[in-house]
Chains A and B, each alone.
Chain A
Amino acid sequence: MKHKLFCTLIFALGLVGPGASAQALELVEFRFLPGLARTPPNSPDGPAGIFRAAESSVSSGVFDPAAETLLADAEKFTKNIFNIPSLQFRRAVTHRVPTGAQWGDVLIAEWEFQEAFGNGSIVLTDTPYYSTYNLRVRDCHIRSQAELTAFLRTALVWNKPPLNFRSDAPQVAPGQKVGGVTPGAVLTIHLPASALPIASFSGGPRTPRSASSYSADFLFDGLLEANEWYFQFRVGKSFTHGFYPVPPWIPERFPPLVELAKSWGYARIRGEVGQTVKPFEGGPDFTADRDRILIAELARRGLSDDQVLALLTDVQPTPRGYELRLDAVIGGMKDAGGASFVSRFFVPALKTYEQIGPVAEKSADTLFRSAAVPSCLSGLDSAALETLKQGMFVKGPLAYLARCSTSREALRALEDMPSPDAGNERLRAWAISSIQRRIDGPAKGNRMAQ
């Protein structure tokens, strides 16, 4: 067995946080957890067992040629996650999960590599919702924390998209103060309490990219078994933006839904709108992402006013249900080109939400905000004021007035309105100051504060 040496230098960051003095910071922090037991050899739920299962799944089955582009881009993506220039494609299969939470088009691909940190295989199980890399690496010498750090430094592409750990952030210029995030480790590695030599670990970013699980995960485990290291890297699909030919979290990928829908009739597309895409328990709901594509196709073909309004209400009657559907309709009509949703449907949509009641509050918020950003749909002051007066929806009208109103009447109404809750009170204060500034005009607004 070749004996690989890893650089044991702990790389350092030089960022200076608020009030902190410049100091070297470790890129990887280690935390010790009690309770780990060694996986029995050949255990099916250990990393080795999982790898063998992945390897088995790619060794049988067929590959759909429609997935060629996805495969090519998945390989590029893989090379941007892992620093493995020797990556050599071996085989790939595809299959379709027809039902259940994980429904959609699945790609499984295997590559081999020979790098300084070891030789081995990598199997990617690429679902519409998650990318799971299982690696088996021989001649990989990891025994200490320094060696594990060096391995991760070597094997991962740290400072380029998609990971962008920015461990190479430039030193702050003398005298320059930088606020924001207090510098810290990039990765946290959990080790068993009885540590050396290291034979297993798990880890992930010190600060996860998203408050939600799954969508922007970057989690990994490693376990040494019979002189082979088995690693698993679990990568959320947020990272595939800009790399993959298809948007994340859409079940249909080969062919992509945007193409597939073109071959469907109206009834089929309309029937598909609202099909639940919620692949993980406790995780995000991506139904609206898929609906947006379907609604865009419907909008390209032409939708009557009634059909559009029906789309808004044909959902689970929950705040989130109404809101996500509105997002999908606004986005879909935007993607289709033509008149924007708010310019055409603001008034009937608002009326619809008023009839639905408080459960549609978030939707009304989105509706007003969409009329205000990025540009103002004019003439809605009175609608916003009337809505505020009714008291059912608050945030949206405030957001609209804050961005768009130049009316003294609106200003007075906001000043006179009863104080809303804390969050909306901040919005109301912003609205008052913004409207006042627009009324005063740029000359007065630019005066030195007295």
Chain B
Amino acid sequence: MIFRSLAGFVLLVTMGSPSYADTLLNTYGPYTWSDGCGQMTITVRVYKDVPGAPGLYKWDYEVNNISIVSEDPDPYVNGVANIWLGLPAGTEAANPYGPANWEATASPSDSFTIVEVGSLSVPDPYIYNYPAPIYTLAPGQTMHFGFTTFPRQEAELQPCAIDENGTLLRWFTCAGADQGEAAYPEIVVGSPGTSSAGKSSVVPTQSRRQRAARPQRTPKVIARPQDISGCTQSAIGPIAIPGPALTQLQSFHWQALLDDNPAHGMKALYHDSANDVWSEDALADEGDTNVTDPAWMANSTGTGIPQENDPVAYTGGTKPFITNVVLTRVDGSSDSALLRVTTDQGTLAFPDTAIQFSNGMASLNYPSGIIAQQTLRAAIANMDVNLTWSISLDSGVTWTGFAMTSHKIFVSLGPPESFGAGTTGFTSSSHITAARVNYVTNLLLGQTDADASVQAVQGSVAGLFGTGDKILSDVYNSMDPWVALDSPGQNATLDCLNLAAIGAVQLLEAGIDVGLFAAYPTTNGDATFPKSQFDPQNINQTDTLKYYLNDGVTRNIYEGFLTLNQGSQAVSAYTFMPTMGPLAPWTSPVDGLPSTTAGQLAFQVMYRELLNERNNSQNSKSGQQWWINNSTGLDAQGPVVFLGFTQ
């Protein structure tokens, strides 16, 4: 049950053996592993000066299968076909290798870095065509596998204990192998994905196996039947694995440089501490935790998943700036060094920066730091940036990597803003959150122009929501536009102002300055507020000026719209139902036309909306203004001339 080698023909054991150019640092083992009736040995060798990987360590594992046999029902199968090595999370294992015709991978995850070396597989008719390895490490055969890391200390793990049934008593500080349930820092030798599904966890005796015809595959090795009834469920033994890096990154913070204000251009983002990661926040979550210095901080062990790793939002045109960097060296040395940070982003580069270790510690405290060599392009971006950290102790002649970090960086067109709903009844956004900036920078990826961004948002809102006469609370029991974006659809047929509000909250978080307004029917040039009069026929009653939609039956009070602002001035207007814009401020002289561009835009929007309704006219009232009695709901006076049509 332990080493489920489910298919086995030929084992190639020579590939991946260390080159003689490598410099051997240490040898560990051979470690003897046993499952009670069979044995294998593992010898671990640590090298430096690896050809093709300067500055890295190579970890070579020599596995010699002495007598471990298979429990697979297929009698042609024998040996070890799959090896998993679970390293502490954050171990930057790279360049994995193994025997030819085996696959070697190194994969980081939240819990482990997994090095897996396994035989290629084919469907095996003996196990219901489940994938089974083609090659195995049969008894008497030896193989090498391994990988590289930054220079790291070596750590030795002792064997795990097992219970009376041979089950491993897990897990976190010992080494063992069983049927393949990976757990830190478990070494799993076996093949969980290829174990015979539905089979008992007890090793069946060889005599139970049914021999049957099977497709011919070559090359072919027939295993010797063995009595494996005395084997336990697990194999255990010691092993050596990479430990903490010799140089460790403890923490740093993202800042920005713009003009003389280092804080300008970098926006602290909120997220919700109730969720493990910010990406689990709903858009409607305001967040309760602000990203503060340091944005990145290693965990207490100095390796693995960082304790902090918060996203950051920059405004295009600013320079990222890494500061408050803290490094440590396990040897406690006091050296002058150069620090190098490289990225996988072509337009983000940092210069080498001098740093001084003192008793194993070095820091670059604000205002010192590492300033990006170029400004970020003024284009909306949503980047996954990987940084590789190296130091040189010989003035840049040789470099040694010590850390790799990954970061989410957003770039907005301007400083992101939260949404102030004023007294409209919409819910204001109190925070700029990571989830929201992530959403809008993905939506507007690559946009360099505010007008084009508004139009893109018009398109997305049109695709997500229907048009009608409902308000947000009718559909979502909330007046928060972000709630609607969390659950688009829902038969939401929303009115013009509600659709515009959904657009506004997104654009603001992308750093595009917009205002939310309503344009009203008007008797003069001022369309910025609802017009009322005392009803001429009904004493003590009031009328409100409204306008008829194209059906000549439905009346609206206003047309909602967005203004795109530059500086402190509204420069153009956009509507979401119907989709219009950019509209320019009304400039022809009209009595009462406001002096503000926002007011002039309101008049323009009302004019265009009335024109739109008239162009799709279904009767004589279409697009006409009318005084409506507030008490009776009936027409009071009309049509009322809109002065834009008299120009």
The chain A residues found within 8 Å of chain B, CB to CB, are 13, 15-20, 27, 31, 33-40, 43, 45-47, 164-167, 169-170, 172, 176-186, 188, 190, 192, 200, 202, 204-216, 219, 221, 223, 234, 238, 241-242, 248, 280-284, 320, 327, 330-331, 365-366, 369-370, 372-374, 395, 398-399, 402-403, 422-424, 426-431, 433, 437, 443, 445-450
Contact = CB atoms under 8 A, between A and B. Distances in A.
A211 B497 contact: yes
B329 interface: no
A30 B446 CA distance: 47
B554 A282 contact: yes
A296 B642 CA distance: 45
Contacts of A424: 462
A19 B568 contact: yes
Nearest to B558: A211
B132 interface: no
18 contacts: A19-B569, A34-B534, A165-B423, A166-B422, A179-B417, A180-B504, A182-B598, A184-B423, A190-B534, A207-B425, A212-B557, A223-B540, A283-B554, A331-B491, A373-B464, A399-B463, A447-B345, A448-B381
A369 B494 CA distance: 14
A331 to B, nearest CB: 5
A182 B423 contact: no
B456 A426 contact: yes
B517 A399 contact: no
B266 interface: no
A48 B45 CA distance: 98
B401 to A, nearest CB: 22
Given A370-B489, A403-B463, A445-B445, A200 B474 contact: no
A47 B470 CA distance: 31
Given A35-B536, A184-B422, A210-B471, 10 more contacts: A166-B428, A179-B504, A180-B417, A180-B501, A211-B496, A211-B518, A369-B464, A423-B458, A423-B578, A433-B456
Contacts of B534: 33-37, 190, 192
Contacts of A448: 345-348, 376-377, 381, 383, 411
Contact of B422 (A45, A181, A446): A181
Contacts of B540: 36-39, 43, 45-47, 200, 221, 223
A216 B494 CA distance: 13
B187 interface: no
A187 B478 CA distance: 21
Given A426-B458, A437-B445, A35 B533 contact: yes
A405 to B, nearest CB: 12
Nearest to A286: B469
B455 A429 contact: yes
B425 A209 contact: yes
Given A15-B420, A178-B418, A180-B508, A426 B462 contact: yes
B634 interface: yes
Contacts of B421: 166, 180-181
A424 B467 CA distance: 14
B299 interface: no
A13 B380 CA distance: 33
A330 B491 contact: yes
A182 B530 contact: no
A237 B598 CA distance: 32
Interface in B441-495: 442, 445-446, 448, 455-456, 458-460, 462-464, 466, 469-471, 473-474, 477, 479, 487-491, 493, 495
Contacts of B563: 18
B435 interface: no
Interface in B551-597: 551, 553-560, 563, 565, 567-570, 578-580
Contact of B542 (A186, A202, A242): A202
B379 interface: yes
Contacts of B513: 18, 179
Given A35-B536, A164-B425, A182 B517 contact: yes
Contact of A430 (B463, B473, B496, B517): B463
Most interface-central of A200, A234, A283, A369 (chain B CB within 10 A): A369
A215 B471 contact: yes
B419 A429 contact: no
B459 A428 contact: yes
A427 B420 contact: no
A215 B560 CA distance: 17
B474 A180 contact: no
A281 B634 contact: yes
A21 B577 CA distance: 31
A17 B595 CA distance: 17
A282 B555 contact: yes
B546 interface: yes
B569 A177 contact: no
Contact of B477 (A207, A242, A283, A446): A242
B628 interface: yes
A213 B446 contact: no
B557 A208 contact: yes
B463 A37 contact: no
User: Would you list the 3 A-B pairs with minimal beta carbon distance, nearest first?
Assistant: A19-B568, A430-B459, A423-B579
B418 A176 contact: yes
A98 to B, nearest CB: 21
B515 A373 contact: no
B117 interface: no
Nearest to B379: A449
B188 to A, nearest CB: 29
B557 A213 contact: yes
A311 to B, nearest CB: 15
A256 to B, nearest CB: 18
B516 interface: yes
Contact of A164 (B382, B456, B479): B479
B159 interface: no
B539 interface: yes
Contacts of A446: 382-384
B284 to A, nearest CB: 14
B420 A180 contact: yes
B180 interface: no
A18 B460 contact: no
B172 interface: no
A287 to B, nearest CB: 13
Interface in B366-399: 376-377, 379-384
B630 interface: yes
Residue from A179, A241, A426 whose CB has the most chain B CB atoms within 10 Å: A179
A329 B558 CA distance: 30
Contacts of B633: 213-214, 280-283
B415 interface: yes
B139 to A, nearest CB: 43
B426 interface: yes
Contact of B420 (A179, A373, A447): A179
Interface string B513-529: 11111100000000001
Contacts of B424: 181, 207, 209
B539 A45 contact: yes
A71 to B, nearest CB: 22
A423 B461 CA distance: 11
B620 interface: no
A166 B428 CA distance: 9
B463 A372 contact: yes
B201 interface: no
Nearest to A374: B489
Contacts of A167: 423
B546 A210 contact: no
B214 to A, nearest CB: 38
Contacts of B508: 179-180
A153 to B, nearest CB: 13
B598 to A, nearest CB: 7
Contacts of B446: 433, 449
Contacts of A395: 462
Contacts of B556: 211-212
Contacts of B426: 181
A181 B459 contact: no
Contacts of B536: 35
